[in-house]
Structure 1
């Protein structure tokens, strides 16, 4: 029976449980709102049941801790008592950290874009108590603006529609859910169907299409706001490694974008690390939040540029310096504890810095000519201002502008900059600093493991490989819950937990992207270290993903953690094949399936990868910018990928052969090296069974004189083994060229 409209505004506050329930939540974003007068609840069955009991809509607000505009709307509306009272009286407010619940964010972002034509955060969505969306938008101001109503106007209009046109509201909500279900079915991927053949001409066509949207002067693609196109850059670098009529174009586009970002305000010129995006087309005014997923991907891309020996507009030594500083920033700024052995990496640094109780976007990173002179003295301060484009008028706010040279520095300029950098870092470190979101996300740490492992090898920094192994140990120890024994009270299936706080995993199981990114990281770590335990953990993750995310042959991003999300997508499991800030889960899963098939010889997993790679033809022909990782994996599939097995005893020769392979830009190359089994390379937790050798190394023997040699193979069919770095390089280049 419907609950009657309260006779006065205060009566709704008499409901049991009418209070802000976020104070005990581990999410930094949710805790940011724990003192709001809004009666926020975390996403879950209890909150929706409360809405059903009151017969009122749900107001769903989605954001994340580092989000500048989330802070703005919180201050303007959620901290306002009158607004909070109206919201509490007529809705059940729910707050979601999109980084903890990407399944919730994804489906309601699709609904928001369908309803309003725009997307972003904070996301504001109005739902039925069953979880169906019927009205949505992003940021709403406290007072009306041209083309955008105030938040109070939106609340009043939705409340009025709920009371006066309830049937129409619910019918529209059901229609939207049905439409999203139809879209999911149209984009479905069935892994039990024969894959379509992959035509490598598609890859050249994608390069041509990307060239049409490139900004050749500013770097990147399209106009402002401009995001780092990490997945597209990975595809372009892989394509550039394979001789074709478009490989030079791919190399040039990648180089221009990498150079422009490295010399811009997007890249922190003092600390290393990259901001989330730029609000200007020339990368001169960044949006200052710094995310682990961006920096892990960009670290790997710059390392792959060094490995490509791309040079041109971005010399390899400059790219190596950018990569090295990015790696340092990741470990120093996001690491928990010792940078050499971090207990997981935090998610982000905030876009804002709180100064005297007031949020200022990017305040920690802004300089004026006067602040530079105060830190360096008049002579060096004026020179640094000229070099880093710091003028009298701030480009971000009255607090100043970010440092950025916009061009390659000369030798003299580089010496000046390297001399003054330490003093500027010290001066900046003395300022108030942006807050850090300490939650550890499994998938993003998987991306970082792959990047750090490869960076350690290519940049000759073994301490980065050690850090990657420490991260991998943390994921296995904290995030991985192995299968329980038969008869145990807990569930028997192993599961990867998505998020941990303070060394304790909690919340939902990982999404497809978490399993895929972690498996990618473990396989990269195996290639670098030769420790079979990393291969076996990747194998477990791949097996777990197949069990968890493939139902009746159909691949999905999640497993229906919430009935409300399932309802909102028309009671059909969803799959988004498009890249966003990170590669899509489907594309990443295709990559690990392809690599695993190369290591294991599994025809089944190769076919599954091929089924996902049937997606690029329709996508790449329209929008290659959102299919970069699929295209990168397709490039690897076209190349084979080449499989390399290094046999023979450990020693200097084996190390040289192994290092030469890891320095190769061959797309998707998988590398296995024989190593003496370490003490912890035996049985995996809960298995009790000694693990066999990786199949690619089976029957790969040393040379007759006992020296190491390399077998280069495709589909486990190998050429005659090679014994020198020179002949290995020549043969690998020939195989990569096709």
Structure 2
């Protein structure tokens, strides 16, 4: 018999619809139920592709005895962190403050007033490794609630007051200067793993936002050190097991420091961000590796994550059936030497084992190996590599596939739009640009309301129940601005402006601080606010970047000033935590460089117009904005950057400006390229 989650749109919530636990979705009705019964609330937060969420569900939430105890003593609330990042953020902050760590599944016990008083993540069904069993936790919390309720209320009140006092205010409203960014680079270099690429030790996550900063810093200053760190990290990830050597695309993170064994779930946001990083690396260096990985990752997103409505699904699970009735992490992706030989034959099987680092001992579990390119592996025998890869991929597709979380998240689709539009433009792949346009149309038609408000998620063409948060507005605006730069279709610029108007009106304080939720959003125990990057750019710095770009297109001092005020937090955090403010550092690089404003005017049918446009798009000037239209057309008249830009001697012409100063117009692509490089 299904519980209340059966009617929810979230795949994660629907995974629990058949539990014997009497789950409620996050709602006022759930807390009213707790108040009327006089019981605490169990808040369980996770997401559909979370391995340990599945484990805890199987061990505890599917257990009849555990469910009976839960139903008698608690109101149980299940939340998809990807659908409600605001709820997740607020209570994760409490978990981390109380325990020093966090993660998913997140398990929090609340009063009926939604105040937290006891915290944890995964709890096993029996005591293990110093952890109490989940049943012991439930009984302890129920006893404390029954016998020491005043003490519980006092603890909850103190926690809420502490969280409320954590609001961010800073005294430096100015964006970072060159010295601040130089200090950030120095701090990053101290944390750089020169042997294996990336930053810090295990587990190792793709540092997408920091890599974008390093590429831009090199472009602005010529720093060889910045480029070397970026290239070494990209090379190591592309060779490692974190990258799917057969199907393209990146797993969530590496459990080791050498990128060998991944946590196998594949997230849209990681692949969108990394696709763009590798495309920008190619733009900066001409690296064949970067080109290949950018294109393979783009193709993976379209092939594996594309939805019938034109958007992109959130994730692929880490787990799948291993062919023997067991649900195992990585089963879809790992190989033994015998499996290679079975598919490829003796000769090619042995060659593939050496090429991909598949050994008898294995690099993963039970003698299996994650495919990686060892240091000696080269793509010199391209035809053999292509043949082996094609046959292995075809054989792998016969295996039981990982489940797909097919909800469409606005922010992550915005990141995908930017990545696919730029990758398609760089490599003359109009199919990728069209995929970006299709996703943008879905966002505009289904997620975006006439009043400029966004819905966070949709599924199967139906909008979800949750309001968009700051990252949704910022990342969708970023994607639309990138799509405009590639296509010249002014509707995308206009839609980005509408979204940014909502950011200024409902997410921004007068002093430049930003909040993750709108001023009229559902009130939680505190209004979430976090300027630091996690697995995606923070909404705060993503908004700053989009505001900066929009100001460059439109000449709006209001948007420029808002961007600079928002970037003040980067100046405060960059010296001590550059790894966690990478997108803010990238935005600051753009602000320092101008950003450059490039207007290309000429007939669409003239090859010269296309050559100038492509030259501008390939420029490495940090955050450069590019607009293109026929002179005097509505598209030119509607965009301030394009107005009053005549042709030069009747030829397609490019104009480059920054900081209220313009270079001489040119019809020569080489002159344009030099202007944008220097």
Task: State the SS of the aligned residue for 2:455.
Answer: strand
1:119-169 deviation per Cα after TM superposition (whole angstroms, max 9, x unaligned): 000000111111111111111111112332111111111111111221121
Residues 312-351 of structure 1: per-residue CA shift (max 9 Å, x gap): xxxx1111011110000000000013xxxx6211000001
**Cα distance in 1 between the residues matched to 2:591 and 2:379:** 42
Query: In structure 1, what is the Cα distance between the partners aligned to 2:306 and 2:11?
Result: 16
Q: CA deviation at 1:407?
A: 2.6
Alpha carbons 2:620, 2:676 under 8 Å: kept: no
Structure 1 length as normaliser, TM-score?
A: 0.89
- Partner of 1:183, secondary structure, is coil
Matches of 1:389 and 1:142, distance apart in 2: 37
For 2:525, the equivalent position in structure 1 comes to 568
Q: Is the 8 A contact 1:708 1:723 kept in 2?
A: yes
1:726 maps to what in 2?
670
| 8 Å CA contact 2:410, 2:455 repeated in 1 | yes
Match of 2:284 among 308, 316, 323: 308
Against the structure 1 CA distance between its residues 49 and 203, is the aligned structure 2 distance closer, same or farther, given a 3 Å change threshold? same
Distance 1:346 1:277 in 2: 19
Q: Distance in 2 between matches of 1:408 and 1:702?
A: 53
- The CA distance in 1 between the partners of 2:184 and 2:230, in whole Å, is 14
The answer on 1:223 being equivalent to 2:206 is no
Q: Which residue of 2 aligns with 1:660?
A: 615
Give, in whole Å, the separation in 2 of the partners of 1:730 and 1:233: 24
CA positional deviation for 1:562: 6.7
Residue 411 to residue 468, structure 1, CA distance change in 2 (3 Å): closer
Which is further off, 522-531 or 164-173? Answer: 164-173
Match of 1:345 in 2: 312
Of the candidates 200, 207, 212, which is equivalent to residue 185 of structure 2? 207
Distance in 2 between residues matched to 1:558 and 1:263, nearest whole Å: 39
Counterpart of 2:69?
A: 86
User: Quick check: 2:66–2:135 contact (8 Å CA) kept in 1?
Assistant: yes
Query: What is the aligned length?
Result: 675
1:519 to 477, 497, 518: 477
Q: How does 1:304-453 map to 2 (within 5 A)?
A: 304-309=280-285, 316-337=287-308, 343-355=310-322, 357-398=325-366, 400-407=368-375, 409-453=377-421
SS at match of 2:5: coil
Q: Which residue of 2 aligns with 1:140?
A: 123
> Shift of residue 552 of structure 1?
5.5
Bigger shift: residues 142-151 or 619-628: 142-151
Provide the C-alpha distance between the structure 2 equivalents of 1:620 and 1:503, rounded to a whole number of angstroms. Answer: 41
Q: Distance in 2 between matches of 1:552 and 1:528?
A: 34
Can you list the C-alpha shifts for 1:666-717, whole angstroms capped at 9, x where unaligned?
A: 1010111114899xx89xxxxxxxx9511111111111x2111111111443
Q: After TM superposition, give the deviation of residue 649 of structure 1 in Å.
A: 2.6
Q: Cα distance, 1:400 vs. partner?
A: 1.6
Q: 1:711 aligns with which of 611, 632, 655?
A: 655
Q: Which residue of 1 aligns with 2:627?
A: 672
Gaps of 5+ in 1: 1-17, 484-493, 683-690
Match for residue 590 of structure 2? 636
Q: SS of the residue aligned with 1:363?
A: coil
Alpha-carbon displacement from aligned partner over 1:38-90 (angstroms, at most 9, x marks no partner): 11111111111111111111101100000111111111111111111111111
Match of 1:26 in 2: 9
Q: Which moved more, 1:455-464 or 1:669-678?
A: 669-678
Q: Distance in 2 between matches of 1:278 and 1:478?
A: 35
Q: Out of 569, 576, 580, which is 1:615 matched to?
A: 569
Q: 1:545 to 1:307 in 2, by over 3 A?
A: same
Q: CA RMSD in A?
A: 1.9
Asked if residue 124 in structure 1 is aligned to residue 107 in structure 2, the reply is yes
- Kindly indicate whether the alpha-carbon contact (under 8 Å) linking 1:598 and 1:715 is maintained by their aligned counterparts in 2: no
Q: Scaled by the length of structure 2, what TM-score is found?
A: 0.96
Q: 1:63 aligns with which of 14, 36, 46?
A: 46
